[in-house]
Amino acid sequence: MPEPASPVTFPPAFLWGAATSAYQIEGAVREDGRTPSIWDTFSHTPGRTADGDTGDIAVDHYHRYRGDVALMAELGLRAYRFSVSWSRVQPTGRGPAVQRGLDFYRRLVDELLTHGIKPAITLYHWDLPQELEDAGGWPERDVAFRFAEYARIVGEALGDRVEQWITLNEPWCSAFLGYGSGVHAPGRTDAAASLRAAHHLNLAHGLGVSALRSVMPSRNTVAVSLNSSVVRPVSQDPSDLAAARKVDDLANGVFHGPMLYGAYPQTLLAATSSVSDWSQVLDGDLAVIHQPLDALGLNYYTTTLVSASGEASPSGRRADGHGASPYSPWPGADDVIFHQTPGERTEMGWTIDPSGLYELIMRYTREAPGLPLYVTENGAAYDDKPDPDGRVHDPERIAYLHAHLSEVRRALTDGADVRGYYLWSLMDNFEWAYGYGKRFGAVYVDYTTLARTPKSSAHWYGRTARTGTLPPVDA
């Protein structure tokens, strides 16, 4: 009879949390001085989101936050990563703060601390104030300086009680899905503009780090969350390896190059030379962007499989998992074919590959030694439904979490400095252009009544958070 497997146990200080973002959960889009963001405008534009869904109400977290925090505490979570709505705090993207907007986040932070839950703030999760987009948006340099002003405002208001700060969430999506393929707000389709946006997001990050540190206690930590891709070639043929390098530069190097190493990859500049001359990079910018970080956040869902091709193949390009559009989010990479990776998939159509999370963690362990890591997003969408008794069983999500957390533990064993894990997402919510059709939450939300029901995975994950040990999948 085989010996039972040893339990998968994490260090006592490992931080167990869940994550959300403002536009996806808050609602109350016209209350207390808040003005439209690009996602308000985008979601109200016919044809942009599934079924015309918007975040006007979302899951009404703005009014139900106390109950949501109590639920987190009941589940045993020790940390909560949330984002601040820029247009709730600084409605035009310029000038003084609206205190009623800041007061909501003050109340939320106080509620979290009262329940022993550590708050982690993300300053930007894709919801640019519409007035800044009307002035040109992220392709315009001025927005980076407006972001620094906003960062200073929020840091001054909450830096005495919040120790973990993240400047940007997944700037790749902001730049390339927002301004390249157009499947995210603001829905523009201009390859050159997407590269300008990427640089100005980098600049905003650097300026934001400096702004936060100028107004906050030195004990606070500042990080960024990147959806760094694990890019694999279909073969070891030199042309396929070159295709993988090109996509790796566009997915990863465009952000971690200047942020972590102070330079854009030369291979990126060469590959995109037909799209941009990179004149948006001014003297001194790279030094501003290259701020020392206290940690790096990694968001991981699936892997990317590519090959080279001498012929453009729109259908192949769309197998990148980033939504349907005739426009590519990969500037300068029209000769690269994206393949659907084999294996079991989530409701998003994304292949489940836990090994990719290990690979990603170990990459940054090698390439950025000494920089602590957090998994700031990881999770899966499934077609969850209540049973006749109102319970929501989601064994697929439990299996997904067990497999991915096992890979995090393997990385720790192999020397990675991973400090925590934030499940995406705390509860079902507005899933961007997919509307309310994709459920990532550990907590089920009835979108008619807005009642919250913890799924089986929420109880399983809560037990993990309380004990630091992964329960069996069938627990």
- Whether the CB-CB separation of 17 and 377 falls below 8 Å is answered with no
Tokens at 340, concatenated: 């659907």
Helices (H), 86-160: 86-89, 99-114, 130-134, 142-158
In Å, how far are 228, 272, 281 from 264, measured between CA atoms?
15, 12, 10
Cα separation, 124 vs 144, whole angstroms: 12
CB burial of 305-332 (b: ≥16 within 10 Å; e: otherwise) equals bbbbbeeeeeebbbbbbbeebebbbbbb
347 is catalytic: no
Cα 223 from Cα 378, distance rounded (Å): 17
From the list 418, 297, 371, the residue with the least C-alpha distance to 14 is 418
5 DSSP 8-state letter: P
Of 223, 207, 136, residue with least CA distance to 178: 136
Q: Which of 170, 344, 359, 367 is catalytic?
A: 170
Paired residues of 235 in beta bridges: none
pLDDT of residue 318: 54
Q: Identify the active-site residue in 377, 396, 407, 431.
A: 377
C-alpha distance across the termini of the chain, in Å: 22
Distance between CA atoms of residues 3 and 257, nearest Å:
46
**Cα–Cα distance measured from residue 245 to residue 232, given in angstroms and rounded to the nearest whole number:** 9
Residue 170 is among the residues annotated as catalytic for this protein:
yes
List the one residue out of 249, 266, 256, 290 whose CA is nearest residue 366. Answer: 256
Per-residue DSSP letter, 258: I
User: Which 8-state DSSP code applies to residue 345?
Assistant: B
What is the C-alpha to C-alpha distance for residues 297 and 282, in angstroms, rounded to an integer?
27
Distance from the Cα of residue 394 to its chain's centroid: 23
Contact 321, 173 (CB under 8 A): no
Burial level of 435, CB count in 10 A (0-12/13-18/19+)? Answer: middle
How far is 429 from 447, CA to CA, in rounded Å? 9
Helix (H, G, I), strand (E, B) or coil at 72: helix
Supply the pLDDT for residue 317: 45
For residue 299, give the nearest of 21, 37, 13, 87 by alpha carbon: 21
CB 177 within 8 A of CB 259: no
How many CA atoms, within 13 angstroms, populate the side-chain half-sphere of residue 9? 6
Query: Cα–Cα distance between 113 and 350 in angstroms, integer?
Result: 36
Q: What is the pLDDT of residue 310?
A: 57
Q: Which has the closest alpha carbon to 168: 96, 258, 95?
A: 258
Q: Residue holding tokens 């939450």?
A: 441
Cα four-point dihedral sign 23, 26, 27, 29: negative
In DSSP notation, 397-418 reads HHHHHHHHHHHHHHHHHTT--E
- What does DSSP say about strands 118-124 and 164-169: parallel, antiparallel, or unpaired? parallel
3-state helix, strand, coil in the chain (%, to 5): 40, 15, 45
What's the DSSP call for residue 221? E
Is residue 186 helix, strand or coil? coil
Rounded to whole angstroms, how far apart are CA atoms 310 and 426? 44
Residues in the chain: 475
3-state secondary structure of 148: helix
Tell me if residue 445 falls in helix, strand or coil. strand
> CA 193 to CA 175: how far, in whole Å?
8
Predicted pLDDT at 319: 82
Q: What is the pLDDT along the chain (475 residues), one digit of tens a residue?
A: 544 578 899 999 999 999 999 999 999 999 999 999 999 999 999 999 999 999 999 999 999 999 999 999 999 999 999 999 999 999 999 999 999 999 999 999 999 999 999 999 999 999 999 999 999 999 999 999 999 999 999 999 999 999 999 999 999 999 999 999 999 999 999 999 999 999 999 999 999 999 999 999 999 999 999 999 999 999 999 999 999 999 999 999 999 999 999 999 999 999 999 999 999 999 999 999 999 999 999 999 999 999 998 554 444 445 899 999 999 999 999 999 999 899 999 999 999 999 999 999 999 999 999 999 999 999 999 999 999 999 999 999 999 999 999 999 999 999 999 999 999 999 999 999 999 999 999 999 999 999 999 999 999 999 999 999 999 998 7
Collect all residues with Cβ–Cβ distance below 8 Å to 231 and sequence separation of at least 6. 244, 247, 248, 251, 252, 303, 304, 306
